[in-house]
Homo-oligomer: A and B are copies of this chain.
Amino acid sequence: MSEQGILVVVSGFSGAGKGTLIKAMLDRYHSYALSVSATTRAPREGEADGREYFFVTREKFEQMIEEEQLIEHAMYVNNYYGTPRQYVFQQMADGKDVILEIEIQGALKIKERFPEALLLFVMPPSADELRRRLVGRGTESEEIIDKRLHRAAEEASGITSYDYILINDKVEQCAQEMHELIQAQHRRVSGNLDFIEQMKAELKAV
């Protein structure tokens, strides 16, 4: 079996429960590492450097781009966001599957550069359920919720670039499905060419 970790990109509609799902995965299984993005935006209350994000200056971020320390980066609302290369590759070399929670644009850039990356899209069981969850949060106005649903409809067009969808109905079950799906990828022929070559050589020798 392939001992090199897999790069797993997770995207999904706002309100689909990506954060809770990933937390459940990391709590339950210990073969995963969560990639922490770098950003130039200011920390919000309760956010810690190196936990939610690596908070860096614009100057530092541009230096990271320059030195190719990021495997993808993008700008949203005048702030940079990017994925530091070193952590991701170190964890993968150590056999950890690395989870990257990023937006569609970033996900497509990753797939272009790393075709072996696994792209997962998290969906609610239905649009009604998504609306219920957004309303249930109680933190957003009707207007913001409509905007999020409208954005989700737009984002849905990008799903066809992903490999698999995950329906997040019950979070524990979805975490297990996500785990099984990632483990299945370790059995891909393309990730086991060394093992196959070794078997071929052994078969000739016995």
Contacts and interface: CB of A to CB of B under 8 A. Distances in A.
Interface of A: 1, 121, 123, 126-128, 130-131, 149-150, 152-153, 156-157, 159-160, 162-167, 177, 180-181, 183-184, 187-189, 192-193, 195-196, 199-200, 202-206
B205 A192 contact: no
The interface residues of chain A, by DSSP majority, are classed as helix
**How many protomers of this protein does the assembly include?**
2
18 contacts: A1-B167, A123-B199, A127-B199, A127-B205, A128-B202, A130-B203, A131-B206, A153-B200, A156-B196, A157-B200, A160-B189, A162-B189, A164-B188, A165-B187, A165-B196, A177-B187, A181-B184, A181-B187
Nearest to A1: B167
A202 B162 contact: no
Among A159, A199, A203, residue most surrounded by chain B Cβ atoms (within 10 Å): A203
A121 B128 CA distance: 42
Nearest to A126: B202
B189 A121 contact: yes
Contacts of A123: 199
A193 B121 CA distance: 13
B189 A184 contact: no
Contact of A203 (B1, B156, B164, B180): B156
